C-alpha cells in the first residue's frame, strides 16, 4: 500500500470516528433535554414550576 492510500484510509477512519462521537453527544443532549422537560412537566403538574421565558 502506498503512503497516499494509507493516509486516505486513516483520514476516512478519523472522520468516521468523529461522526460517531458527534452522533453519541447529540443523543446525550437529546436525552438530557427530554429528562429536563419531563422534570419541568412534573413540577408544573405539582404547581411548583416557575414560568419559562
Give the pLDDT confidence score for residue 31 in this predicted structure: 94
- DSSP conformation letters of 38-50: HHHHHHHHHT-PP
DSSP state, residue 47: T
What are the tens digits of pLDDT across the range 1-51?
Answer: 677 878 787 888 888 888 999 999 999 999 999 999 999 889 889 988 777
User: What is the pLDDT at residue 34?
Assistant: 94
Would you state the pLDDT for residue 13? Answer: 80
Per-residue confidence (pLDDT) for residue 9, from 0 to 100? 79
Q: What is the pLDDT of residue 1?
A: 65
Distances from the Cα of 2 to the Cα of 6, 27, 47, 49, angstroms: 6, 38, 68, 63
pTM of the complete model: 0.59
Do 40 and 51 form a contact (C-beta atoms < 8 A)?
A: no
Amino acid at each position: 500500500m502506498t503512503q497516499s492510500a494509507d493516509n486516505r484510509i486513516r483520514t476516512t477512519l478519523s472522520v468516521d470516528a468523529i461522526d460517531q462521537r458527534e452522533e453519541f453527544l447529540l443523543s446525550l443532549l437529546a436525552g438530557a433535554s427530554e429528562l429536563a422537560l419531563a422534570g419541568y412537566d412534573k413540577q408544573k403538574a405539582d404547581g411548583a414550576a416557575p414560568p419559562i421565558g
